[in-house]
Amino acid sequence: MKMIKKIYIVRVAILIILILSWFYYNYFFLSSNDLSSQNKSPLASEYLNMAPEVKFVGDEACSACHLEIFKSFKQTGMGMSFYKPSTGNVIENFKSNNRVYDKKSNFRYEMIQERGEFFQREYRLDDAGNQIHELKRKIEWIIGSGRQARTYMTKIGSLMYEMPVTWYSRKGKWDLSPGYHSRNQRFSRPIVAECMNCHNSYTDHVDNSENKFKNIPSGIGCERCHGPGELHVKSRFGWKINTTMSGVKDPTIVNPARLPLREQMDVCLQCHLLGEKAVFKEGMKSDSFRPGMRLTDLKSIYISDDISPNNFDIASHGERTSLSECYIKSNGALTCIVCHDPHKPVKSLGRAHFNNKCIQCHEIDNLSREPEGVEHQVDANCISCHMKQGDAADVLHVNFTDHWIRKRLSVDEPEKEEGRVITLKDFMEETDSSADIRLGIAYVKFFEEKHGEQEYLHRAVELLEEGLKSNREHIGGLYNLGKAYLSLKNPRKAVQALERAIMMNPVEIKTYFALGISYEKLGKKDKAKDVYLESLEIYSEDALVLTNLGNLEQGAGNSEAAIDYYNRAIKSEPSYPGSYVNLGRLYLVDYSNTARSKEYIQEALRLDPDYTPALSHLGSILVAEGDDEGAIKLFERILEINPNYISAYGNLASVYAKRGELAIAREYLLNLLKLAPINRNARKMLAKIELSIQKFN
């Protein structure tokens, strides 16, 4: 009886706690002071849904009250930005003219529709027309409404990648995806959170992964421009929200049209201002932005100081608009929504809609009195004369509008040197204490992702070192300084910066990875191993960390441990050929198992027939088997792919020397020493060969 009484008392206590919790949540949980505590924006106290803890509810919740707007928005480019392929939404031609040849990489692609599913098939033919390579990937998601283009994503294991071929609707043709003409990344271009979160609603990205997502929504939604809808929906269903601290009409939701000009523009610029590089502020990520914030709360955008008047990128709307006299003389009042209704498809508005926007300020009668005004008729098309249209510089086969409004669309422009070093500048012209650090980070990113010219690293180091003097705990600055020193072959200084970064923030696996590599460069393998193991406690599925641990274990003679790490790397990233090559080497070197070694190498080459480490290893196996001709073909193929691949020259020299063809061996060694003048093995071998040549002569 006493036990029953105790249980009853406990249950009553729990019930009271729940009631009090509900009461507290209803009346006090969302006071404006609590919600704005983590948000620097001056509007955070006005709009309660700017707080990071307010939840997104999805578009269907909005449609209950805003059905017509919901339906219209779903027909816009944003509303149709991301979705699954189906037989019901096919606009492409999968039956004819569905093949693309990339001459530069010698890969061919075929787009296939079969049994309700869609695929891209990569293949290669030899000189006789025989197929010598094939890789087929399923289309999992479509990016783009299809009015201009559709690009595709595939999922390999649990990771998301862009696919190499895009459908260009304007011209009704298949061609390589944007950026792939200069560098065909095949099926290996990772879809990172920053890309996903501008082509889609915010996704559930897995922390510390590069391209892994738990849940993927379908298209940009209402809340991307209006902010999280939890409070707004609850208030409409009778929940009491404390709004007494706010002075706006409805503090539970943001209406961009009612925002100050700067914040209104920033809602659009979060995605429509790409620049050359973006650097997120400390503690911010691509899904941290809330409408009402200033873009400068989130990130800095860097553009080239040498803007082309004739060429524009596809996501340069904000940058180009800011150059327009209309924008400048209106003091920024020419925001995006002056001309664009984000709830309606552009095509549904018609030419007259946009011309009327111009005429509101530029009356036809006044224009016709000016010297240039002879063609300014009432029904003239302002856009065709004052906003350039056509291919974007970074995306072919589309018809985009340059948002630099001006009298003359084309001007004489001096020819620019290919690969020239550019200077980056902050679009927002920020001057806070971390401005130099962020610019330094931008240069590191530019070096890694766009142009591998070391001048960018030297600029970065100077900016970062100076900026960190007054802001010693800037985590991003320390991390990028470490990476810059690592790329400049100064691992000792890299270690100093990276260790400080980990002290400040011990949960970023990328910092551990860079530190581990730095220790390896210094020959401190035990320390490198410890760092890699620490990183696996944070995120256990990083294929590069697992691969490096496998390499260390193999080097230490721990073959079984190495095999385990390599297999874990393959499980985490099945399409990475490096793990298969490492297993192939291990089975040959540690177990003398040539057959097993070949199996792994062949799998690496199935994934990437141009993967030079795999070709090199297979060539070494052929040399051991006495197939010199086969080995020579592989090593020469490596040099066709990468003329700077040093070991291929050494291997060719060894094979030709073994065959007694010393003059040819000598030529390969001389070429090697042009690339690596202090290579001791090459110099020793060259001395022996030259001595032998002298004896024969």
State mean pLDDT over 521-540. 98
635 belongs to a structural domain: yes
- Chain-centroid distance, C-alpha 372: 45
316 belongs to a structural domain: no
127 belongs to a structural domain: yes
CA–CA separation, 599 vs 412, rounded Å?
Answer: 58
pLDDT at 7: 38
Q: Considering the chain, what percentage of its residues have pLDDT values greater than 90?
A: 76
The domain tally of the chain equals 2
Q: Coil, strand, or helix at residue 292? A: coil
Long-range contacts for 372-378 (Cβ within 8 Å, ≥24 apart)? 372/407
The helix (run of H) or strand (run of E) holding residue 14 is helix 2-27
State mean pLDDT over 405-433. 83
pLDDT of 27 higher than 80? no
pLDDT at 373: 54
295 belongs to a structural domain: no
Compute the mean pLDDT over every residue in the chain, rounded to the nearest whole number: 90
Residue matched to tokens 């470490």: 482
Number of Cβ atoms within 10 Å of the Cβ of 34: 15
DSSP codes joined into one string, 349-384: HHHHHHHHHHHTTS-HHHHHHSTTGGG--TT--HHH
Amino acid letter at 241? Answer: I
Which of these three, 199, 228, 262, is where a domain ends?
199
97 belongs to a structural domain: yes
Q: How far apart are the first and last CA of the chain?
A: 112
Asked if 480 and 444 touch (Cβ cutoff 8 Å), the reply is yes
pLDDT band at residue 414, thresholds of 50, 70 and 90? low
The helix (run of H) or strand (run of E) holding residue 143 is strand 141-143
Give the CA distances from residue 691 to residues 283, 681, 688, in Å, rounded to whole numbers and listed in that order.
63, 16, 5
Instruction: Look up residue 579 and give its two tokens.
Output: 């793990």
450 φ, ψ (degrees, to nearest 5): -130, -45
191 belongs to a structural domain: yes
Predicted confidence (pLDDT) per residue in 435-458, tens digit: 999 999 999 999 999 888 999 999
Rg for the chain, CA atoms, rounded = 30
pLDDT at 248: 83
Who contacts 540 (Cβ-Cβ below 8 Å, separation ≥6)?
A: none
pLDDT at 372: 61
pLDDT of 394 higher than 90? no
Domain of residue 626 covers 611-697
Amino acid letter at 554? Answer: Q
326-341 in b/e burial notation, b at 16+ Cβ within 10 A? bbeeeeeebbbeebbe
Question: Maximum Cα–Cα distance for the chain, whole Å?
Answer: 112
Region for 140 from its dihedrals, namely left if φ exceeds 0, alpha if ψ lies in -120 to 50, beta otherwise: alpha
Predicted confidence (pLDDT) per residue in 289-344, tens digit: 999 999 999 999 999 988 887 788 878 888 899 889 999 999 999 999 999 999 99
Residues β-bridged to residue 136: 121
pLDDT at 5: 42
pLDDT band at residue 632, thresholds of 50, 70 and 90? very high
Asked if 132 and 149 touch (Cβ cutoff 8 Å), the reply is no
Number of Cβ atoms within 10 Å of the Cβ of 406: 17
696 belongs to a structural domain: yes
- CATH assignment at residue 648: 1.25.40.10
Amino acid letter at 612? Answer: T
Instruction: Look up residue 208 and give its two tokens.
Output: 């510390």
CA–CA separation, 548 vs 583, rounded Å?
Answer: 12
CA–CA separation, 294 vs 276, rounded Å?
Answer: 20
Altogether, the residues listed in the chain come to a count of 697
Which of these three, 149, 177, 199, is where a domain ends?
199
Number of Cβ atoms within 10 Å of the Cβ of 372: 11
Amino acid letter at 98? Answer: N
The helix (run of H) or strand (run of E) holding residue 160 is strand 159-162
Which residue, 342, 339, 367, is CA-closest to 354?
Answer: 339
pLDDT band at residue 375, thresholds of 50, 70 and 90? low
State mean pLDDT over 217-241. 93
Who contacts 312 (Cβ-Cβ below 8 Å, separation ≥6)?
A: 320, 388, 392, 393, 400, 402, 403, 404
pLDDT of 9 higher than 60? no
Helical pair 543-555 and 577-589, crossing angle rounded to 10 deg: 10
Asked if 565 and 597 touch (Cβ cutoff 8 Å), the reply is no
pLDDT at 340: 92
pLDDT of 153 higher than 90? yes
146 belongs to a structural domain: yes
Residue 381: CA atoms inside 13 Å, Cβ hemisphere, count?
A: 8
pTM, two decimals, is 0.89
Query: SS3 letters for 600-632?
Result: HHHHHHHHCCCCHHHHHHHHHHHHHCCCHHHHH
Asked if 479 and 498 touch (Cβ cutoff 8 Å), the reply is yes
pLDDT at 4: 40
Query: SS3 letters for 387-440?
Result: CCEEEECCEEEEEEECCCCCCCCCCCCCCCCCCCCCCEEECCCCCCCCHHHHHH
Q: Coil, strand, or helix at residue 60? A: helix
State mean pLDDT over 421-434. 93
pLDDT at 245: 65
Which of these three, 181, 199, 217, is where a domain ends?
199
Predicted confidence (pLDDT) per residue in 634-675, tens digit: 999 999 999 999 999 999 999 999 999 999 999 999 999 999
